[in-house]
Amino acid sequence: MLSKGLASPHCILKILNLENCKITTEGCVSLAEALKVTPSHLQELDLSRNNLSDEGVEILSKGLASPHCILKVLKLSWCSITQRGCISLAEALKLNPSHLQELDLSFNGLSDEGVEIISKGLASPHGVLKVLKLSWCSITQRGCMSLAEALKVIPSHLQELDLTENSLSDEGVEILSKGLASPHCILKVLNLSRCGIADTGCISLAKALKLNPSHLQELNLRENLIKKKGKRVLLEIKEDPSYSLKTVEFNPWD
Protein backbone atom coordinates (compact mmCIF):
# COMPACT_ATOMS: atom_id res chain seq x y z
CA MET A 1 0.00 0.00 0.00
CA LEU A 2 2.80 2.42 0.88
CA SER A 3 4.65 1.67 -2.35
CA LYS A 4 1.60 2.66 -4.38
CA GLY A 5 1.87 6.10 -2.81
CA LEU A 6 5.60 6.20 -3.63
CA ALA A 7 4.81 5.39 -7.25
CA SER A 8 2.48 8.39 -7.59
CA PRO A 9 3.79 11.08 -9.97
CA HIS A 10 2.90 13.64 -7.28
CA CYS A 11 4.96 11.99 -4.51
CA ILE A 12 8.17 13.87 -3.63
CA LEU A 13 9.21 11.79 -0.60
CA LYS A 14 13.03 11.70 -0.30
CA ILE A 15 13.67 9.66 2.88
CA LEU A 16 11.91 6.46 3.95
CA ASN A 17 12.85 4.56 7.12
CA LEU A 18 11.37 1.05 7.38
CA GLU A 19 13.82 -0.40 9.89
CA ASN A 20 12.53 -3.46 11.80
CA CYS A 21 9.12 -3.52 10.11
CA LYS A 22 8.79 -7.28 9.46
CA ILE A 23 9.28 -6.81 5.72
CA THR A 24 10.09 -9.90 3.65
CA THR A 25 10.58 -10.75 -0.02
CA GLU A 26 6.99 -9.84 -0.86
CA GLY A 27 7.49 -6.27 0.31
CA CYS A 28 10.63 -5.96 -1.82
CA VAL A 29 8.54 -6.59 -4.95
CA SER A 30 6.45 -3.49 -4.27
CA LEU A 31 9.42 -1.33 -3.28
CA ALA A 32 11.35 -2.33 -6.40
CA GLU A 33 8.45 -1.26 -8.60
CA ALA A 34 8.23 2.08 -6.79
CA LEU A 35 11.94 2.72 -7.46
CA LYS A 36 11.35 2.30 -11.20
CA VAL A 37 8.71 5.03 -11.59
CA THR A 38 9.28 8.29 -13.45
CA PRO A 39 9.99 10.63 -11.80
CA SER A 40 11.36 8.93 -8.68
CA HIS A 41 12.33 11.28 -5.84
CA LEU A 42 13.32 8.76 -3.15
CA GLN A 43 16.95 9.31 -2.16
CA GLU A 44 17.32 7.38 1.11
CA LEU A 45 15.87 3.97 2.03
CA ASP A 46 16.50 2.14 5.32
CA LEU A 47 15.45 -1.52 5.39
CA SER A 48 17.71 -2.60 8.24
CA ARG A 49 16.60 -5.44 10.55
CA ASN A 50 14.12 -6.94 8.09
CA ASN A 51 14.32 -10.55 6.92
CA LEU A 52 14.78 -9.70 3.25
CA SER A 53 17.20 -12.57 2.50
CA ASP A 54 19.09 -12.89 -0.77
CA GLU A 55 15.85 -13.39 -2.68
CA GLY A 56 14.47 -10.06 -1.46
CA VAL A 57 17.71 -8.24 -2.29
CA GLU A 58 17.68 -9.74 -5.79
CA ILE A 59 14.20 -8.31 -6.32
CA LEU A 60 15.07 -4.95 -4.81
CA SER A 61 18.17 -4.73 -7.01
CA LYS A 62 15.97 -4.72 -10.10
CA GLY A 63 14.56 -1.42 -8.88
CA LEU A 64 18.07 -0.11 -8.09
CA ALA A 65 19.18 -0.99 -11.62
CA SER A 66 16.44 1.12 -13.18
CA PRO A 67 17.69 4.32 -14.88
CA HIS A 68 14.88 6.16 -13.08
CA CYS A 69 16.12 5.19 -9.60
CA ILE A 70 18.05 8.04 -7.92
CA LEU A 71 18.56 6.41 -4.51
CA LYS A 72 21.66 7.83 -2.78
CA VAL A 73 21.57 5.95 0.54
CA LEU A 74 20.61 2.29 1.04
CA LYS A 75 20.78 0.62 4.46
CA LEU A 76 20.53 -3.16 4.54
CA SER A 77 22.14 -4.13 7.85
CA TRP A 78 20.81 -7.25 9.63
CA CYS A 79 18.92 -8.43 6.50
CA SER A 80 20.18 -12.06 6.21
CA ILE A 81 22.21 -11.32 3.05
CA THR A 82 24.99 -13.60 1.78
CA GLN A 83 27.24 -13.68 -1.31
CA ARG A 84 24.23 -14.40 -3.50
CA GLY A 85 22.60 -11.09 -2.62
CA CYS A 86 25.89 -9.30 -3.29
CA ILE A 87 25.83 -10.51 -6.90
CA SER A 88 22.52 -8.72 -7.49
CA LEU A 89 23.67 -5.53 -5.77
CA ALA A 90 26.92 -5.44 -7.74
CA GLU A 91 25.03 -5.88 -11.01
CA ALA A 92 22.67 -3.05 -10.06
CA LEU A 93 25.65 -0.80 -9.33
CA LYS A 94 27.05 -1.55 -12.77
CA LEU A 95 23.75 -0.91 -14.57
CA ASN A 96 22.88 2.29 -12.69
CA PRO A 97 26.09 3.46 -10.99
CA SER A 98 25.62 7.21 -11.02
CA HIS A 99 23.56 7.83 -7.85
CA LEU A 100 24.13 5.46 -4.91
CA GLN A 101 26.59 7.11 -2.50
CA GLU A 102 26.14 5.14 0.73
CA LEU A 103 25.63 1.39 1.20
CA ASP A 104 25.33 -0.29 4.61
CA LEU A 105 25.62 -4.10 4.60
CA SER A 106 26.73 -4.52 8.22
CA PHE A 107 25.76 -7.60 10.25
CA ASN A 108 25.22 -9.82 7.21
CA GLY A 109 27.02 -13.07 6.36
CA LEU A 110 28.74 -11.71 3.28
CA SER A 111 32.11 -13.44 3.89
CA ASP A 112 35.14 -12.80 1.68
CA GLU A 113 33.28 -14.02 -1.40
CA GLY A 114 30.55 -11.40 -0.96
CA VAL A 115 33.09 -8.64 -0.42
CA GLU A 116 34.94 -9.66 -3.59
CA ILE A 117 31.70 -9.29 -5.53
CA ILE A 118 30.84 -5.89 -4.00
CA SER A 119 34.41 -4.68 -4.63
CA LYS A 120 34.01 -5.37 -8.35
CA GLY A 121 30.96 -3.11 -8.31
CA LEU A 122 33.05 -0.45 -6.55
CA ALA A 123 35.67 -0.70 -9.26
CA SER A 124 33.18 0.49 -11.90
CA PRO A 125 34.55 3.70 -13.51
CA HIS A 126 31.07 5.20 -13.36
CA GLY A 127 30.36 4.46 -9.68
CA VAL A 128 30.03 7.25 -7.10
CA LEU A 129 29.78 5.21 -3.88
CA LYS A 130 31.35 7.26 -1.06
CA VAL A 131 30.42 5.32 2.11
CA LEU A 132 30.60 1.52 2.52
CA LYS A 133 29.78 -0.13 5.86
CA LEU A 134 30.81 -3.77 6.26
CA SER A 135 31.04 -4.27 10.02
CA TRP A 136 30.47 -7.82 11.34
CA CYS A 137 30.50 -9.37 7.85
CA SER A 138 32.93 -12.32 8.40
CA ILE A 139 35.72 -10.71 6.35
CA THR A 140 39.32 -11.96 6.54
CA GLN A 141 42.61 -11.17 4.75
CA ARG A 142 41.19 -12.49 1.49
CA GLY A 143 38.44 -9.86 1.48
CA CYS A 144 41.08 -7.19 2.12
CA MET A 145 42.69 -8.04 -1.22
CA SER A 146 39.50 -7.13 -3.09
CA LEU A 147 38.95 -3.95 -1.10
CA ALA A 148 42.57 -2.86 -1.63
CA GLU A 149 42.16 -3.25 -5.40
CA ALA A 150 38.93 -1.22 -5.30
CA LEU A 151 40.76 1.61 -3.51
CA LYS A 152 43.27 1.79 -6.36
CA VAL A 153 40.79 2.35 -9.21
CA ILE A 154 40.67 5.56 -11.24
CA PRO A 155 38.66 7.49 -10.25
CA SER A 156 38.10 6.24 -6.68
CA HIS A 157 35.17 7.89 -4.89
CA LEU A 158 35.11 5.91 -1.63
CA GLN A 159 35.61 8.26 1.34
CA GLU A 160 34.44 6.16 4.31
CA LEU A 161 34.99 2.45 4.97
CA ASP A 162 33.79 0.64 8.11
CA LEU A 163 35.27 -2.83 8.75
CA THR A 164 34.53 -3.09 12.48
CA GLU A 165 34.58 -6.59 14.04
CA ASN A 166 36.08 -8.53 11.14
CA SER A 167 38.99 -10.99 11.44
CA LEU A 168 41.47 -8.92 9.45
CA SER A 169 44.56 -9.29 11.68
CA ASP A 170 47.87 -7.59 10.84
CA GLU A 171 48.08 -9.54 7.57
CA GLY A 172 44.75 -8.17 6.36
CA VAL A 173 45.66 -4.62 7.33
CA GLU A 174 48.96 -4.95 5.49
CA ILE A 175 47.05 -5.93 2.34
CA LEU A 176 44.49 -3.14 2.80
CA SER A 177 47.30 -0.64 3.30
CA LYS A 178 48.48 -1.26 -0.26
CA GLY A 179 45.19 0.23 -1.41
CA LEU A 180 45.49 3.13 1.03
CA ALA A 181 48.97 3.88 -0.29
CA SER A 182 47.69 4.31 -3.84
CA PRO A 183 47.69 7.92 -5.08
CA HIS A 184 44.17 7.29 -6.39
CA CYS A 185 42.76 6.43 -2.93
CA ILE A 186 40.82 9.34 -1.37
CA LEU A 187 39.54 7.55 1.75
CA LYS A 188 38.93 10.02 4.60
CA VAL A 189 37.46 7.78 7.33
CA LEU A 190 38.57 4.21 8.14
CA ASN A 191 37.08 2.18 10.99
CA LEU A 192 39.12 -0.89 11.98
CA SER A 193 37.96 -1.37 15.56
CA ARG A 194 37.90 -4.95 16.92
CA CYS A 195 39.82 -6.40 13.96
CA GLY A 196 42.65 -8.24 15.77
CA ILE A 197 45.28 -5.65 14.85
CA ALA A 198 48.61 -5.33 16.68
CA ASP A 199 51.70 -3.13 16.24
CA THR A 200 52.66 -4.66 12.88
CA GLY A 201 49.34 -3.56 11.39
CA CYS A 202 49.91 -0.01 12.66
CA ILE A 203 53.31 0.09 10.99
CA SER A 204 51.71 -0.94 7.68
CA LEU A 205 49.10 1.82 8.03
CA ALA A 206 51.79 4.39 8.85
CA LYS A 207 53.78 3.44 5.74
CA ALA A 208 50.68 3.78 3.58
CA LEU A 209 49.92 7.23 4.98
CA LYS A 210 53.46 8.37 4.28
CA LEU A 211 53.04 7.34 0.64
CA ASN A 212 49.59 8.95 0.32
CA PRO A 213 49.41 11.64 3.03
CA SER A 214 46.73 13.93 1.69
CA HIS A 215 43.38 12.25 2.44
CA LEU A 216 42.84 10.01 5.50
CA GLN A 217 41.51 12.16 8.36
CA GLU A 218 39.95 9.70 10.83
CA LEU A 219 41.24 6.28 11.90
CA ASN A 220 39.45 4.13 14.51
CA LEU A 221 41.57 1.35 16.03
CA ARG A 222 39.68 0.79 19.27
CA GLU A 223 39.60 -2.63 20.95
CA ASN A 224 42.60 -4.06 19.12
CA LEU A 225 45.90 -5.49 20.42
CA ILE A 226 48.01 -2.39 19.86
CA LYS A 227 50.89 -1.55 22.20
CA LYS A 228 53.12 1.51 22.60
CA LYS A 229 55.13 1.01 19.40
CA GLY A 230 52.04 0.83 17.18
CA LYS A 231 50.49 3.88 18.81
CA ARG A 232 53.68 5.89 18.53
CA VAL A 233 54.10 5.51 14.74
CA LEU A 234 50.54 6.68 14.08
CA LEU A 235 50.52 9.48 16.65
CA GLU A 236 53.69 10.87 15.07
CA ILE A 237 51.83 11.14 11.77
CA LYS A 238 48.79 12.72 13.47
CA GLU A 239 51.00 15.39 15.03
CA ASP A 240 52.82 16.13 11.77
CA PRO A 241 51.08 18.98 9.84
CA SER A 242 52.27 17.43 6.56
CA TYR A 243 49.52 14.81 6.92
CA SER A 244 45.72 15.11 6.88
CA LEU A 245 45.22 12.68 9.78
CA LYS A 246 43.34 14.52 12.54
CA THR A 247 41.89 11.71 14.68
CA VAL A 248 43.32 8.36 15.77
CA GLU A 249 41.31 6.36 18.31
CA PHE A 250 42.85 3.62 20.46
CA ASN A 251 41.52 1.78 23.52
CA PRO A 252 40.23 4.49 25.89
CA TRP A 253 41.46 2.56 28.96
CA ASP A 254 45.14 2.36 27.80
Query: How many angstroms separate the Cα of 179 from the Cα of each of 125, 155, 184?
Result: 16, 13, 9
Is pLDDT of 254 > 70? no
**DSSP E strand stretches across the chain:** 15-17, 44-46, 73-75, 102-104, 131-133, 160-162, 189-191, 218-220, 247-249
Average pLDDT over residues 190-213: 97
Which has the higher per-residue pLDDT, 20 or 124? 20
39-43, 121-125, 232-236, 246-250: which has the minimum mean pLDDT? 121-125
The torsion region of residue 67 among left (phi > 0), alpha (psi -120 to 50) and beta comes to: alpha
What pLDDT is recorded for position 155? 77
Is pLDDT of 19 > 80? yes
Is pLDDT of 175 > 90? yes
Is pLDDT of 168 > 90? yes
Q: Is the C-alpha dihedral spanning 107, 126, 101, 131 positive or negative?
A: positive
Reference 155, options 133, 178, 183; nearest CA is 183
- Yes or no: say if 167 and 196 are a contact pair by the CB < 8 Å rule: yes
pLDDT digits (tens, 9 = 90+) for 88-146: 999 998 888 889 999 999 999 999 999 999 998 887 777 789 999 999 999 999 999 99
What pLDDT is recorded for position 38? 83
The whole-angstrom separation of Cα 5 and Cα 9 is 9
Residues facing 16 on adjacent strands? 45
Domain ranges of the chain: 2-249
What percentage of the chain has pLDDT greater than the value 90?
86
pLDDT digits (tens, 9 = 90+) for 61-82: 999 999 999 999 999 999 999 9
The whole-angstrom separation of Cα 109 and Cα 112 is 9
Is pLDDT of 20 > 90? yes
The CA-CA-CA angle for residues 49, 221, 127, to 5°, reads: 60
**What CATH class does 2-249 carry?**
alpha beta
